[in-house]
Structure 1
Amino acid sequence: MSAPERLPFRDPDLPLDKRVDDLLGRLSPDERLAMLHQYAPAVPRLGLAAFRTGSEVLHGVAWLGVATVFPQAVGLGATWDEDLVRAVAEATSVELRAFHYHHPPVVGSGATSLQAWAPVLNPLRDPRWGRNEEGYSEDPLHTARLGEAYCRGLAGDDPRFLRAAPVLKHFLAYNNEDDRCTTSSGVRPRVLHEYDLAAFRPVVASGAATGAMAAYNLVNGRPCHVSPLIADELRRWAEPTGHELFVVSDAEAPSNLVDPEHYFDDHAEAHAAALKAGIDSFTDHGEDSATPVGRLREALERGLIDQSDVDRAVRRQLALRFRLGEFDPGLDPYAGIVPEVVDCPEHRALAARAATESVVLLKNDGLLPLSGSPRVAVLGPLADALHEDWYSGTMPYRVTVAEGLRERLGDVVCVEGVDRIALRCRTSGDLLGGTAFDVVEWGDDVVTLRCAETGRHLTAEDGPLAVAQDVIKTWEVHETFRLEVDPAADGDTVLLRGVHSGRYAAVDPDGRVALTAETPETAERWHRELLLDGVGEARAAAAAADVAIVVLGNHPLINGRETQDRTGTALPESQEALLRAVAAVRPETALVVMSAYPYAVDWADEHLPAVLWTSHGGQETGRALAAVLLGDADPSGRLPQTWYRGDDELPDPLDYDVVKAGWTYQYHRAAPLYAFGHGLSYTNFAYSDLRLSTSEPAAAGAVEVAVTLTNAGPRSGTEVVQLYVRALKARYEAPILRLADFRKVSLAAGERRTLVFRLPAERLAHWDVATGGFTVDPGEYEVVVARSAREAVLTAPLTVTGPAPTPRALVGRETRAVDFDDYANTTLTDATRTTGDAVTPTDPTRPATLLYRAADLTGAVGVAARVANEGTGAARLEFHLADRPLAVVEVPVTGGRYAWTTVVADLAEAAGVAGVARVAEAGAAEAAGSVEPAGAAESAGVAGVVGVHDVWVTLHGDFRLSSFHFTETIAEQAFPSC
């Protein structure tokens, strides 16, 4: 055999696909199979190095050691600055290259992976999502724009080689942590295409992304790791780019298909299904390749997959490795990156800029910017602390808020405002840990106990309790506790309970304290001694100052993180009490919320002169906030998601229907505390002269929108000009507003600039369930220039021309059950393990109702439906109009979840069961709630129906419906093509 360096795949002049084919052909079947695991082994005979998928680079290089730490993704989202986000990603990928070349891997063999697992494109539907910090925005367009910028920064500008290979997370409809591996996100077609897919589609279609990661959850009853959407959507979007996506699994998700999801009976079957669905790399069992590769080998031997399935996935991996320069080190333009780029001065400056631009001024009654040389007290548990989140790198240094202000103002008083206590054992009289603890509450009565002398946290990780942890950053957090008052003793007697284990502290015969007690009765009692009143200390500091800056918020690893959703949006009770106590003695108080997600700060908004928000902004957070508080920088951040009011009842976390549930600024009717896009400046901007190039575009056309922006204030500043659209008198439930474009603009005092936006009519489109595609309806719309989703400045009417939509065709055409216009008591589920969706009653004891508006029934004399009934009880299916029944069909037992059969009925026979149908219709109307017809149905007879009607379909009992069609012949069995 020729030397590896002389083989065709080493020839840089050959086309990429030829090189990949040559290398693939030289790999043995076993070598190819081994490449399907995250840790692909080396192939020395061909000169191939070991390859590992995945490095975490969400807002800087993570898990590899000291690296530049930029603001969290949600903070980058608050910048609304694509150029800045791209620059952050570029710096991150440069540092990743430095780790790749110059640092040994933290785990496993081979160099640090240049496949970058970022950005996260899941829109931030629910502010209680534990991983809220990882996304950019609640809006899909905003998410996509910043996501594409981050991808381009990671990938670099070379036309041939990638600096890093961005992988989009997490596909798809993933916004809950509690039971995330077993919960199903119900996503009907409109929500799927207009919201969840809309964040991914533009990024993939642009060619900026090189891969995607499947999500842990299920969508419509089917695990994302075997979703047909990987092929039908993701890969289809990528086809015009000339490069295939390399799709990876999330950690342990392939195993989850069997346990805990129980979707497949055995792992070989599950792994085969994932591979065939489009998973190219299995992140499973850590470095243990033998187990997942063995399962895939078994699948191959059983005929569940064939060699072409393996080759297809390996080919995608090899193509990516070529693009990363692995086989052309002499041509790789990034090969000269040196280790000194990590945390270099340029990256520090960029971190400071990013942190500064991410600060959002939520309220300001004139307190800010601070002027002169005020005496400032910085108070609160985050006043002098910066915390890393799970996907954060190790900060090279930490400039806290107190330190940032101290650098500028000199003497700044800093008080955490937390109690210092001692816990004395009732049995022995000894102090727990032999020390005093500062108690920080993070909500839901969860506290950390930090040694007053060393700053280390009490931990229960290894046996007896110990004061040992400097930084809380582990997958399983063992440093959180609850101090539960003993109801049988005085108020100073408490029980110490570990949050992670749920067990109580007890003392063994040797005097060691450990979390071993399963019940309160067997737990040790502790006398809580108050050594320092934190609120009192903070009040005193505030009273002696001219201004109080109170810094509150969350710890990124506690009460809201990966694997754990938040229970609400309120500030921790002790933090709220501290804020009110400080404001009572110092009215000149500004609240800084430092958090990974929104809080309901209603009281602060009503009573304080200033409120600001920043995400956990990385190493330069303190300098960034000092620059904004003191007026060195104009606050240019704008909210990337809605901040709801405290008394605003949010939808259920598992209700993924943003339209019907009323999620985000697009559909939430109640006025928020702070709207999407909200943020104040220290100057004043005036908008004028809104002009459209045409007021009557065609459905396939475009409009140029021009608006003049003037800095009418006394100082330079930055504004985010937001362009929204809305449909008027829509035939569907249209968004209140929808973001169509935005631009960040900096102007000097008195400067004026005319901005021109190109508005394609497709930005007005909605997903038409009747036709299965995006449609721009003719009719009236409005273009809105706004400061936020709740503060419109200028509006202009727009009329789209074109033919009116035709009625939905239900006769002679199969209609998917999920393509309804409205519904009640309905759950979306899988039709088969590999394809299709179906509907079933959420509660089988109540009818499920589906509404199909404006349907043409002319010529219908019968109906046929595809149903599956496992046999749990009586079931029937009803079709009816607003004022009369059409057909009632008894649903037989089919024998299995995926055992489908066709049931038929003659519409003329409905007259014989009219009484039953009328009773069912009344029940269906009651169950439907908000399900209402779009207009009055035309009068028609039962047999030989004519005209356009709203059609209701009602499911009684525990069965599933996948599709139906009205027939023009009696008892027609066959289903026509769509």
Structure 2
Amino acid sequence: MTEQTPPTPPFRDPHLPFAKRIDDLLERLTLDEKISFLHQYTPAVDRLGIGAWRTGQEALHGVAWMGPATVFPQAVGLGATWNTDLVRRVGEAVSRETRAMSAKDDRVGLNVWSPTVNLLRHPLWGRNEEGYSEDPKLTSAIATAYTRGLRGDHPAYWRTAPVLKHWLAHNNETDRATSSSSVRPRVLHEYDLRAFRETVEAGAVAGVMPAYNLVNGRPNHVSPYLREQLRAWTDEELLVCSDAAAPSNLVDLEHYFDTHEEATAAALIAGVDSFTDHGTDSSKIVGRVRKAYEQGLLSEADIETAVRRQLSVRFRLGEFDPRLDPYAGTQDFDTPAHRALAQEAAEQSVVLLKNDGVLPLAPGTRVAVVGLLADECKLDWYSGTLIHRSTPLEGLYEQFGAERVEFAEGVDRIRLKTSSGDFLHVPAVDADDQVRGAEGALDPALLTGRTDLPPLTTDPAGTELALIDWGGGVLTLRAPDGRYLSVADDGYVRASADQPGGWIVQETFRLEPHEHGHLLRHIGTGRHVSVTADGVKVADGNPEILQLIIAERGEEAVHRVAERADVVVVVAGNDPHINGRETEDRTTLLLPDHQERLLRAARAANPRTVLALVSAYPYAVRTSDLPAVLWTSHGGQAAGAALARILSGEVSPAGRLPQTWYESDGDLPGLLDYDVIGGRQTYLYFEGTPLFPFGHGLSYAAFSYGDLATRVEGDTLHVSFTVTNTADITADEVAQLYTRAVEPTVPRPRRELLAHSRVTLAPGERRTLSFEVPLSAFEFWDVARGGPRLEGGPYDILVGASSEDVRLRTTVLLDGEPHAARAVLGRGLDAADFDEQSGAAIVDRTRTAGDAVTPEPGRRAELVYRDCDLGDGVTEVRVTVAGGGTVELSLDGGAVLAVLELKDATPSPYDYTTLAADIVADGVHDVHLELRGPLRLAHVGFSG
């Protein structure tokens, strides 16, 4: 008798549509198996031959956290290229390396959590390095390019599955898990949602990750916008992955729900499909989902909906069709093409901010390169491990020859004297004890936290240490052989790190004046350094009083080399793990004092001083007496070579600023002020004079613009113009197209980017650039109607090299819907649909949907609703309120017409009641409301 082969189950049949295969697989999974799929680490289902899987692989500018990989410029640097084709190629290279690494290491996942599309609204945000731009149009263009590269171009199968971070309105690390971003409807739709929407609609996004913060009083992990907005933008099954520990935060930190079962059920119903919580331990999430189901908070259909979305991604990644997967077997890793691309990206990201003719440097120039970052190639929290590295010093050696380049780091050289009269001493380490990585570099992943190296001791001579001051009193200490002092879990101080790093940085210290000396506090533990019989350690008691003996000031070394050079290049900036990073916002735009002193020392010794800022964010730097200034993000493995090629003129710079550089801290709004319209924030609304404007960047070439032409056909504005390279070198130009509403009836942007193009032009070459701009790009969110509206009238069309360097302009007259007064008699006024406000915050009307408005703590809130049509007359006003407090109504800023007071506070902020008062009014008026007390106003109604 012949044994029959079991039929292939439909979910294994590649000829069927993915949706039908997923239906079949869902029917075969038990409820317990479905629930187990909801945790980040999904177990195998052996009986069905389904392997284990996990969501999440960091890949912001290269494969991160998984060892050696090609490291590209930081995301803000990729944004500075303004080059979508380049960024697409970078995404493609990253996804190829992800595939190649995943084939050898099952810890490397194919669901990549990247890119970050949070807008760089505030330059003090600690994660500024992770975003692309303050502008939603540029952000979405760069993000779309990166996701297309990550996805691949096969119609059915994806190389990797990108997830956008972090949904929504997330620009602060301070109190990030408990703070609420107050985002009114216009800002929500015109700004924060836009970058996500345009990227999702482009079709290469697998999902999103909600942010830790709350928006309008409601945690992002239970946001109704996931359903109402995100899932309405595409027919694809989008996967929503929680941020790490955020599901537990709903109860533990935010206290938004009383039990974890309620919180987990609410998040799942809102649209979270994969829970990143408790590391690899899935038992807690699985247990919470099971209890929520048993308590009737969830149905099996709710669970299946989430599992379906996860399976959709897994099918698209080819997991169930390994023989058909076009990306299976990808081996492209650290290829010559990837190395060349890393250098090209680094070169294209450099922005020339100022140049009085000192650049490019002529061959044979004697160069002094100085500064804390002159011989550094810094990584950040989301970097891979360097296989190759290039510092500015090394790049300048290559360009000009080591004999014509002098170097001074500019750190203070010190010894630390103990109360016994001895000095802190760093024991020597045998070469065999130093674990080295690629090209002989110390591998920080292997060195940091080591306990097998000897701790510091004391002796009469001591060790001369480099004291590196990063500003704000934060410093690092480095031994002569390059090892940084670090503290391991046992509390001993060792020279055991190649660079500062880690989630909690163990290499930072603070010198605190004490009596006639200093205490040395370790920032990571908060403890002071003490000297014990068995070595130097950090402890709660008996801190050592240390004398700071300075062998040489950094300024002295800088002055010495600067006065001998033809040109000085000061390389200044930040360490991405210190004073501004995930979990830590910056406190100032200013360059740290020590680096400012080095810059001034160089300038005093040599007026031909060039400042090269290498940083994850903008600075407010005095540049009036500097002949040239450049900026680049931390540019990855080729950063130094790229900067040197720009300085030498081998490459003409063409990077452009992706965000405004302000002159001072006084130009900035509060970090938690998310109202870009009311707060006049970003280049869109800022009315001051920036240090350098959005889109700014100079070239070694010169370009002329001409032949601007526009025409409207149907729903599209066609714009064309010419750009000509009038110089004698080949160079890139970034042509930018902006608009401005000439006669708006509501506040509109001063400038708004419509499109851009980075083009390479040979000497004398002239090219025509053409753009098709949908008329929807001119719309704004009309709160009076609760939707977008194109306002008819004149619009300036502005063409140039930055948002302020306008070379061509014309005006087009667009047809649209005219302004009309709000018809409030039927609809009334939703409280959050104000035109202007002061002292108000938007909060959640209920835990699941809707907005209300409340006064900020200790303030009165004033709300203005423009042009409200009260018809032939109203006799009553009604307010829907909760909490307790008073609402006062007036018209056009006149006398108070009605006072509505909720004297007895409602039992909860979500228990609403209606108050009414008599008024007599008719016609069109501006309605003014003043709110006092812990009141939530949800709605205002009128009747005749």
Distance in 2 (alpha carbons) for counterparts of 1:336 and 1:513: 51
1:291 Cα offset (Å): 0.7
- Letter of the 1:448 partner, please give it: T
Moved more, 584-593 or 881-890: 881-890
Distance in 1 (alpha carbons) for counterparts of 2:860 and 2:595: 46
Match of 1:895 in 2: 907
- Letter of the 2:395 partner, please give it: G
**2:891 is the counterpart of 1:880:** yes
Aligned residues of 1:459 and 1:469 also touching (Cα < 8 A): no
- Letter of the 2:349 partner, please give it: S
- Letter of the 2:635 partner, please give it: G
Match of 1:483 in 2: 511
Aligned partner of residue 624 in structure 2, secondary structure? helix
Match of 2:385 in 1: 394
**2:930 is the counterpart of 1:954:** yes
1:776 Cα offset (Å): 1.1
- Structure 1: runs of 5+ lacking an equivalent: 106-111, 908-942, 969-978
Distance in 2 (alpha carbons) for counterparts of 1:803 and 1:328: 51
**2:483 is the counterpart of 1:455:** yes
- 627, 632, 639: which is aligned to 1:614? 632
- 853, 872, 879: which is aligned to 2:866? 853
Distance in 1 (alpha carbons) for counterparts of 2:654 and 2:482: 38
Aligned residues of 2:667 and 2:688 also touching (Cα < 8 A): no
Match of 2:496 in 1: 468
Distance in 2 (alpha carbons) for counterparts of 1:547 and 1:23: 68
Match of 1:203 in 2: 199
Match of 2:464 in 1: 436
Match of 2:764 in 1: 750
Moved more, 499-508 or 633-642: 499-508
Match of 1:497 in 2: 521
1:890 Cα offset (Å): 2.3
Aligned residues of 1:121 and 1:136 also touching (Cα < 8 A): yes
Distance in 1 (alpha carbons) for counterparts of 2:549 and 2:860: 59
Aligned partner of residue 570 in structure 2, secondary structure? strand
TM-score, length basis structure 2: 0.94
Aligned residues of 2:828 and 2:939 also touching (Cα < 8 A): yes
Aligned residues of 1:867 and 1:959 also touching (Cα < 8 A): no
- Letter of the 2:918 partner, please give it: D
1:888 Cα offset (Å): 2.2
- Letter of the 2:8 partner, please give it: R
1:460 Cα offset (Å): 5.5
For the structure 1 residues 308 and 814, does the alpha-carbon distance in structure 2 shift closer, same or farther, using more than 3 Å as the test? farther
Aligned residues of 2:717 and 2:772 also touching (Cα < 8 A): yes
Moved more, 893-902 or 676-685: 893-902
**2:709 is the counterpart of 1:680:** no
For the structure 1 residues 386 and 461, does the alpha-carbon distance in structure 2 shift closer, same or farther, using more than 3 Å as the test? farther
Match of 1:229 in 2: 225
Distance in 1 (alpha carbons) for counterparts of 2:167 and 2:7: 38
- Letter of the 1:204 partner, please give it: V
Distance in 1 (alpha carbons) for counterparts of 2:423 and 2:391: 35
Match of 2:157 in 1: 161
Aligned partner of residue 708 in structure 1, secondary structure? strand
Distance in 2 (alpha carbons) for counterparts of 1:502 and 1:819: 46
Q: What's the C-alpha RMSD, in Å, of the aligned pairs?
A: 1.6
**2:551 is the counterpart of 1:531:** yes
Distance in 2 (alpha carbons) for counterparts of 1:739 and 1:688: 19
- 84, 102, 118: which is aligned to 1:122? 118
- 259, 271, 277: which is aligned to 2:270? 277
Distance in 1 (alpha carbons) for counterparts of 2:262 and 2:4: 39
Aligned positions of 1:236-247 closer than 5 A: 236-239=232-235, 243-247=236-240
Match of 1:345 in 2: 336
Distance in 2 (alpha carbons) for counterparts of 1:29 and 1:123: 40
1:457 Cα offset (Å): 3.0
Match of 1:930 in 2: none
1:185 Cα offset (Å): 0.5
Moved more, 607-616 or 646-655: 646-655
1:870 Cα offset (Å): 3.3
Q: Between Structure 1 and Structure 2, how many residues are aligned? A: 904
| Per-residue CA distance 1:291-322 (angstroms, 9 max, x = gap) | 11111111111111110110000011111101
**2:533 is the counterpart of 1:514:** no
Aligned residues of 1:864 and 1:902 also touching (Cα < 8 A): no
Aligned positions of 1:216-615 closer than 5 A: 216-239=212-235, 243-338=236-331, 341-411=332-402, 412-427=405-420, 429-432=422-425, 433=456, 434-459=462-487, 461-486=489-514, 488-489=515-516, 493-508=517-532, 510=533, 512-517=535-540, 523-602=543-622, 605-615=623-633
Aligned residues of 1:869 and 1:892 also touching (Cα < 8 A): no
Distance in 2 (alpha carbons) for counterparts of 1:886 and 1:866: 14
1:879 Cα offset (Å): 4.4
Aligned residues of 2:883 and 2:936 also touching (Cα < 8 A): no
1:471 Cα offset (Å): 2.6
Aligned residues of 1:184 and 1:217 also touching (Cα < 8 A): yes
Match of 2:656 in 1: 638
1:513 Cα offset (Å): 2.7
Aligned residues of 2:881 and 2:939 also touching (Cα < 8 A): no
Distance in 2 (alpha carbons) for counterparts of 1:738 and 1:586: 41
Distance in 2 (alpha carbons) for counterparts of 1:870 and 1:801: 45
Aligned residues of 1:355 and 1:617 also touching (Cα < 8 A): yes
- Letter of the 2:71 partner, please give it: V
Aligned partner of residue 119 in structure 2, secondary structure? coil
1:647 Cα offset (Å): 5.6
1:472 Cα offset (Å): 2.1
Match of 2:805 in 1: 791
Aligned partner of residue 810 in structure 2, secondary structure? strand
For the structure 1 residues 254 and 967, does the alpha-carbon distance in structure 2 shift closer, same or farther, using more than 3 Å as the test? same
- Letter of the 1:58 partner, please give it: L
| Per-residue CA distance 1:458-512 (angstroms, 9 max, x = gap) | 43553121211123221000111111233x32xxx2221122333322234x253
- Letter of the 1:597 partner, please give it: Y
Aligned residues of 1:252 and 1:283 also touching (Cα < 8 A): yes
1:707 Cα offset (Å): 1.1
Moved more, 536-545 or 325-334: 536-545
- Letter of the 2:535 partner, please give it: R
Match of 2:67 in 1: 65
- 779, 794, 797: which is aligned to 1:765? 779
Aligned residues of 2:652 and 2:732 also touching (Cα < 8 A): yes
Aligned residues of 2:483 and 2:495 also touching (Cα < 8 A): no
1:760 Cα offset (Å): 2.2
Distance in 2 (alpha carbons) for counterparts of 1:703 and 1:869: 47
Aligned partner of residue 693 in structure 2, secondary structure? coil
Match of 1:14 in 2: 16
For the structure 1 residues 860 and 245, does the alpha-carbon distance in structure 2 shift closer, same or farther, using more than 3 Å as the test? farther
- Letter of the 1:431 partner, please give it: L
- Letter of the 2:69 partner, please give it: A
- 131, 135, 140: which is aligned to 1:135? 131
Aligned residues of 1:868 and 1:896 also touching (Cα < 8 A): no
Aligned residues of 1:765 and 1:777 also touching (Cα < 8 A): yes
- Letter of the 1:501 partner, please give it: T
Match of 2:146 in 1: 150
Aligned residues of 2:408 and 2:561 also touching (Cα < 8 A): yes
Distance in 2 (alpha carbons) for counterparts of 1:167 and 1:455: 37
Aligned residues of 2:877 and 2:918 also touching (Cα < 8 A): no
